[in-house]
Amino acid sequence: MAKTIIEKIIQKHTQDEVKPGQIVWMELDLRTARDFGGPNVVKNYEREYDDEPVADAARTFFTFDLCTTGCLLRYADNQQICRLFARKQGLKVYDVDWGIGTHVLIEEGLAKANTTCVGTDSHMNLLGAVGCFGQGMGDVDITFAFRTGRTWFEVPETVKIKLIGQPDPSASAKDITLFLLRKLGTKVLAEKAAEFYGPAVESLSLAGRITLCSMITEMAGIIGFIPQANEAARQEIERFSGEPWLPFQADSGAIYCQEIEINVAGLTPQVALPPSPANVYDLKEVAGRPINSGFIGSCTNGRFEDLEAAARILKGRRIKEGIILRIVPATRHVYDECLQKGIIEIFRQSGAIVMNPGCGGCAEGHSGLTGRGEVQISTGNRNFPGKQGKGEIILASPEVVAASCVAGYLISPEEL
Amino acid sequence: MKIIKGRVWILIDEQGRLIEDIDTDQIYHNAYLHITDISQMGQYALGNLKGYEDFPLKVGQGDIIIAGRNFGAGSSRQQAVDCFLALKIGAIIAPSFSPIYWRNAINSGLAVLRCHHLNDLVSNHRLESGDILEVNVHSGEAFNITKKIAFSIEPMSPVQLAIYLAGNLFAYGRQMVRQG
């Protein structure tokens, strides 16, 4: 029977019949836990399985990225709980010096096309950017996965989305992503997989692919795939994985629950205002709103290309007096590249603060939280009430965040 | 045969509409993610949801939560489920749940049930906070005992029911091993 991409990946990992709605037992190629969720996994594991070994130590990892600054005692405790368990079980720990776990899995060549990977990270599905079926799960699921190497999964239906036309040069991958959230909200992709087609997405860098795939979570979806890539993105994926990139393609005749065309011709920068990521407007509709701080980073926009794009705006400019701009590279690898190419120096001269790699701007334990009354413009992926402190969060691209921090209010880079 | 019976709590906004897209930071804020002891989690349930900050003080054992579409959006945190287990919530019913939340709840043995016409039931006052509701998780038959109104919900899928009846995913896994 003709299959969609998610159906093919699941079929490769199960003996059960794969069709939407069917519950299958699926083999997991990678099982991970973070310093968030990880200590809960250890506690569950020792309660349920005592000293029994994990299913496969070589494919089970911890990735610490929530509290990489070591500023909270409770996370220091939790990280040490995970390290001790890892030592006992012979598991590798990508410790606080590595960066965001999902990105490290790509850079280390662990998350590959057509594989399955789970972890205690709701943005695990950004691995769809390289054709890997990544899925965020809670600590019960992950504990079970550590011990058994498998999980039950309900095969989702797939929505086929074709983007028509080319966005305006001022629009980035984040603007396309926010525009899709504006069009799709949290209903169209709810509990479904997505396949994206069209030059606007197929021309994205790996960083841009990650931006789009990361926010499938905010669309309430399971995972998104972009089965075609441009040469540069393909080369970067292959450099990390060390093998030809051959992601599954959907069969002709594969069955989609919905096929949608979205016109992105001439798309200009977008922003998501509080209280939700789907509350999206054209930047020009809301330009001029004052902001107090900025954040550039996160699993959605923390890659080299994201930081380089911000640096292009900040080069030769100063952040407005009184505005704090925090920048967090996604990984050590990204940080190194920024350092080598003079990006960190541009940030320093602009007055921005560059923190060590990891997650950021998303939860307590991260840099970039907001105080009551503070308005922050952020490249993150969520702006729910109270999530990043008591302030308000506006989601935007790295270019728009950088420009707005120079101006002190929402502004499109070309207006600067 | 498993019947869930409890007092209803409807999560509505100031206009009386079911609150949609309630995210995990509204259910269980990230300031408490370091906690691994379930018994400590109940006090934070819905602590960041406007109008429901005192929910843990008022809720009773076995109460049933009714919420809007895409309940549990956001993070993968198990605590957003565990906080309700700590309070001994009987079930959560919503038109839909976020995919990760749905799995987490099933795996922890918290009854999560989909009901597509909840919005109508609530806006027509056929289901109100304080009503006593009875739900058959096998058949999907629901009965508002207070108002004597019957309606239907989606019955649990076979795997969900098996995990729920076993207690949680770990107990279910042991059953599977025993049964080969």
Residue A275 preceded by cis peptide, ω within 30: yes
A14 contacts in B (CB within 8 Å)? none
- DSSP-assigned letters across all residues of A89-129: HT-EEE-TTTB-HHHHHHHTT-S-TT-EEEES-TTGGGGGG
Q: Of A37, A220, A385, which is closest to B77 when you measure between CB atoms?
A: A37
pLDDT, one tens digit for every residue, chain A (416 residues): 899 999 999 999 999 999 999 999 999 999 999 999 999 999 999 999 999 999 999 999 999 999 998 888 999 999 999 999 999 999 999 999 999 999 999 999 999 999 999 999 999 999 999 999 999 999 999 999 999 999 999 999 999 999 999 999 999 999 999 999 999 999 999 999 999 999 999 999 999 999 999 999 999 999 999 999 999 999 999 999 999 999 999 999 999 999 999 999 999 999 999 999 999 999 999 999 999 999 999 999 999 999 999 999 999 999 999 999 999 999 999 999 999 999 999 999 999 999 999 999 988 888 889 999 999 999 999 999 988 999 999 999 999 999 999 999 999 999 99
Amino acid sitting at position A28 = L
How many angstroms separate the CA of residue A212 from the nearest CA in chain B?
16
**Inter-chain touch A141–B25, beta carbons under 8 Å:** no
B79 contacts in A (CB within 8 Å)? 40
Token pair listed for B11: 């999560």
B104 contacts in A (CB within 8 Å)? 137-138, 140-141
Work out whether strand A353-354 and strand A375-378 pair parallel, antiparallel, or are unpaired: unpaired
Cβ–Cβ pairs < 8 A, chains A and B: 120
Q: Of B23, B76, B169, which is closest to A121 when you measure between CB atoms?
A: B76
Class of domain A158-263: alpha beta
Residue A265 burial (CB count, 10 A) = 11
B73 contacts in A (CB within 8 Å)? 186, 218, 220, 384
Q: Looking at chain B, which residue has its C-alpha nearest residue A276?
A: B21
Q: Where are the domains of chain B?
A: 3-155
Domain B3-155 fold: Aconitase; domain 4 (3.20.19)
Q: Where are the domains of chain A?
A: 8-154, 158-263, 270-415
Contact A205, A233 (CB under 8 A): yes
**Inter-chain touch B157–A221, beta carbons under 8 Å:** no
Which residues on adjacent β-strands are paired with residue A154?
A23
CB-based contact, A79 to chain B, within 8 Å: no
Q: Give the start-end residues of each E strand in chain B.
A: 3-10, 64-66, 91-94, 112-114, 132-136, 141-144, 149-152
CB-based contact, B168 to chain A, within 8 Å: yes
> Could you tell me how far CA B144 lies from the centroid of its own chain?
17
User: Are the folds of A8-154 and A270-415 the same?
Assistant: yes
CB-based contact, B36 to chain A, within 8 Å: yes
Interface of A with B in 294-353 (CB under 8 A): none
DSSP secondary structure code for residue B37 in this structure: -
Residue A298 burial (CB count, 10 A) = 27
CB-based contact, A36 to chain B, within 8 Å: yes
**Inter-chain touch B170–A143, beta carbons under 8 Å:** yes
Domain A270-415 fold: Aconitase; domain 3 (3.30.499)
Q: Looking at chain A, which residue has its C-alpha nearest residue B104?
A: A138
Q: What is the largest CA-CA distance in chain B?
A: 53
In whole angstroms, give the CA distance from residue A313 to residue A305: 13
B75 contacts in A (CB within 8 Å)? 122
CB-based contact, B26 to chain A, within 8 Å: yes
Class of domain A8-154: alpha beta
B68 contacts in A (CB within 8 Å)? none
In whole angstroms, give the CA distance from residue B9 to residue B54: 13
Q: Of B81, B96, B158, which is closest to A138 when you measure between CB atoms?
A: B81
pLDDT of residue B8: 98
Q: Which of A71, A141, A388 to mutate to test the interface with B (most CBs of B within 10 A)?
A: A141
pLDDT, averaged across chain B: 95
Q: Of B33, B79, B104, which is closest to A363 when you measure between CB atoms?
A: B33
Residues A93-113: tens digit of each pLDDT: 999 999 999 999 999 999 999
How many angstroms separate the CA of residue B146 from the nearest CA in chain A?
33
Query: Which of these, A26, A23, A22, lies nearest to A10 by C-alpha position?
Result: A26
CB-based contact, A65 to chain B, within 8 Å: no
